[in-house]
Amino acid sequence: MNIKDYFSFTRREKRGIVVLLLIIIILIIANFSVDLLKSNQQTDFSQFENEINEFEKSIQADSNNSLTDNLKIELFEFNPNTITDEEWKKLGFVAWQIKTINNYKAKGGGWKTKEDVKKIYGLEESHYEQLKPFILLPDEKASPTEWSFGRENKFNDTSKKESRIKYGTKITYFYFDPNTISKEQWEKLGFKDWQIKAIFNYKEKGGKWKTKADVKKIYGLAEADYLKLEPFILLPDAISPSEKVTSKKDYTTKVHINTATAKELTNLKGINSEKYAELIIKYRTELGGFVRKEQLKEVWNLKEETYNEFVNQIELGNNLPQQININKASAEELKIHPYFNWNTANAIVKYRKSNGNFKKVEDLKKIHIIDDETFLKIAPYLTTN
């Protein structure tokens, strides 16, 4: 094929090329015309942009100030393990946070150091920093390595403020009455064998600690170490004038356990302080009332030997416990009670949704995870009405 054949066109093809060229020229001219027709005037968006910036700043300010503006915080010294819901509220905690705190405590949770309080769900850093100076807990946990007290010698001057604790014995802080705890518990608190021996010799001779300050006199206990123990000692700060006059209490007095005040509970043998009594009242409130005397053994740090000392003094009375309606309560509401965990509460609600309302409390036995022992424990606190 000759190369000229590539450049030869029929008449029809030539007309098509001409039309195509005309279209291209028209499009080029139109493109330039649009640019010429465009207005040089630019819309001023500066005012709108300023308004947006101001709005964003106001949102940021609201976010930063929301807690401090909405919460009126009343600062006072407190131990998070013992304060009431009303006191949490005064410290700036809202209802859902207090509910979470109570759930945690009902499951045996507690706070041993100030840093532990920082882990409370929903507690912001700024809020924690406000509370920190007022928390009656040690700043830090004992080192993972063991701690021990200073050497047993004549130079061990406990009047000095520095701690006598050195690496050697692990320390665990917990609420305790020095008159009732065991040797093993003294060890957990960091006391050495020779100190524990001296403590029990003192007790065998009729010795007793009546106030927190009395504990300070334990031989070999440095002031700095006493200050770490002090928030956990279940003894009064001082002896009341009435106690000074009356050396012995009347342990024949009957106490109505479901209505007694903290002061009335101190008439029980072995309950030596109102703080200890408040732990009983707190658990009574969480339960909705005691239905069996044995439930007192479930109170935090209440030893069986202490319970045995006062069991004959207590009366339950005829008061009905506070009851939860299992036909209306949500799983969240059920698990607030100390006797319910998430699995049990969730199983009750699921069964109710699948089978309709419970006709009687005994219907709970149809739920496979609720055995006879669990049922007998929870039944007094439930109703279908």
pTM of the model: 0.42
In whole angstroms, give the CA distance from residue 337 to residue 50: 54
Type of residue at 285: T
Q: pLDDT (tens digit, 9 = 90+) per residue, 133-186?
A: 888 887 765 433 333 333 333 333 333 334 444 444 567 888 888 988 888 889
Structure tokens at 138: 């040690």
pLDDT over 50 (residue 296): yes
Best-predicted range by mean pLDDT among 1-5, 16-20, 351-355? Answer: 351-355
Q: pLDDT (tens digit, 9 = 90+) per residue, 350-367?
A: 999 999 999 999 999 999
In whole angstroms, give the CA distance from residue 358 to residue 381: 15
CA atoms within 13 Å, Cβ hemisphere of 321? 23
Average pLDDT over residues 262-272: 87
Antiparallel, parallel or unpaired: β 147-148 and 166-167: antiparallel
Average pLDDT over residues 235-256: 67
**188 or 145, which is more confident:** 188
Average pLDDT over residues 117-132: 88
Q: Where are the beta strands (DSSP E) in the chain?
A: 147-148, 166-167, 255-256, 314-315, 324-325, 382-383
In whole angstroms, give the CA distance from residue 309 to residue 61: 59
pLDDT reported for residue 168: 45
pLDDT reported for residue 159: 36
pLDDT reported for residue 327: 94
Which helix (H) or strand (E) element contains residue 170? none
Per-residue DSSP letters for 231-271?
Answer: GGB-S-SS--HHHHH-SS--TT--EETTT--HHHHTTSTT-
For residue 269, give the nearest of 218, 339, 319, 208 by alpha carbon. Answer: 208
Q: pLDDT (tens digit, 9 = 90+) per residue, 192-215?
A: 888 898 898 888 877 888 888 889
pLDDT over 50 (residue 272): yes
pLDDT reported for residue 38: 54
